[in-house]
Amino acid sequence: MERYIFHCDLDCFFAAVEIRDNPEYEEKPVIIGADPKEGKGRGVVSTCNYEARKFGLHSAMPISQAYRLCPHGIYLFPNSKKYVEASKEVMNILNSYTSKFQQVGIDEAYLDMTEKCFNLKHAETVAKSIQDEILQKVGITLSIGCAPTKSIAKIASDYKKPNGITLVPEEEIKEFLYEMDITTIPGIGKKSKIYYNRKGFKIIGDFIDTSLSRMIELFGKNGEWVWNIVHGRDNREVKELNEDRKSLSKERTFHEDTNDYNEVISKLEEINNRIHKSAVKHDIYYRTVTLKIRLEGFLTFTRAKSLPHPIQNKNKVMKIILELLKEFEQKQKSVRLVGIKLSNLKKEISVVQTNILNYMNP
């Protein structure tokens, strides 16, 4: 029985919400992120619409660079409350189509529609109904990929953006993927691309044409993982929110580089408190705590500490972060950005007892 997995991805989500609420922004470059301050601003682009992307803008680009490329754009500071409300509306609609629903971010989700769709044509009809309902009720668009696996569905949702529907039946997976760059595969980024390129793998077809044994010989477990994805053998299920989440993280950029470590610590405490609101809300525990710090000159470092048992203790985390921070206080360099990541996540009742003990011994 062929599976019908939908990956639903909202198009330029933050910018789309702003354009919905401000029709005069339609067909103009809209950039959500830090204040550019006429090219002297700090921070990065959070997201931008397709009009802005025509000028070379993209997510995570320094806002100062974005302004140089597109000084006439509409620059807006993120309105988190408004985006969260719009996301909830969308996710409630998506969840109404199937009980097998997995939200994986504020703007994307998976639906397992295998038991709801009779065939691929029916899956396309359902996908169009989802798009129409969200446009009518929330006022924004999304793109949908439908495939037998989560990984191929995610690739497909990006294929015809914006407001597209892409269906990939099992027998067409290899043909669909063959000419795509290897970075199209979720999990292969700029750094790992270099690693694969050195071995002669540039397009997904290079993976498809290589035997499983050779992939394992060249790349070990990563080779097996890639081979399974491109051959449609990703059997991961659509799960409840956070079941397969890999980390919780937040970071903040200072308005100006700072030498004041009291200010740095205050910002880290703020980040830690916000992360733990999410951890408590979703009953998430973690074993690894990571400090991210960017110094003047864009020098970026990470330092981590792993614990023997999962915890959910913000006091313990802050103590670890302060220990990791000491190394950088000695460097006597100004700080541009700080962040905290909690990883090696668990969502188990059995760790609660450990958590209580950790609170007793902060």
> Cα(196)–Cα(204) distance, rounded to whole angstroms?
11
The rounded distance, in Å, linking the Cα atoms of 243 and 312 is: 16
Give the full edge-to-edge strand order of the sheet including 30-33: 45-48, 30-33, 74-76
- Contact between residue 305 and residue 273 where contact means Cβ atoms under 8 Å apart: no
Query: Considering only CA atoms, which of 86, 102, 113, 88 is closest in space to residue 17?
Result: 86
Q: Please list the residues that pair with 342 across neighbouring strands.
A: 248, 289
Q: Is 263 a catalytic residue?
A: no
Residue type at 249 in one-letter notation: S
Q: Measured between alpha carbons, how far is 323 from 306 in angstroms, rounded to an integer?
A: 13
3-state secondary structure 166-207: EECCHHHHHHHHCCCEHHHCCCCCHHHHHHHHHCCCCEHHHH
Catalytic residue among 18, 108, 179, 217: 108
Nearest to 167 by CA among 145, 142, 143: 145
Residue 41 neighbours by CB under 8 Å, 6+ apart: 34, 35, 63, 64, 67
In our burial notation (b when 16+ CB lie closer than 10 A, e otherwise), range 88-121 reads eebbebbeebbebbbbbebbbbbbbbbebbeeee
Token readout for 347 is: 């969502």
Residues with a catalytic annotation lie at 108
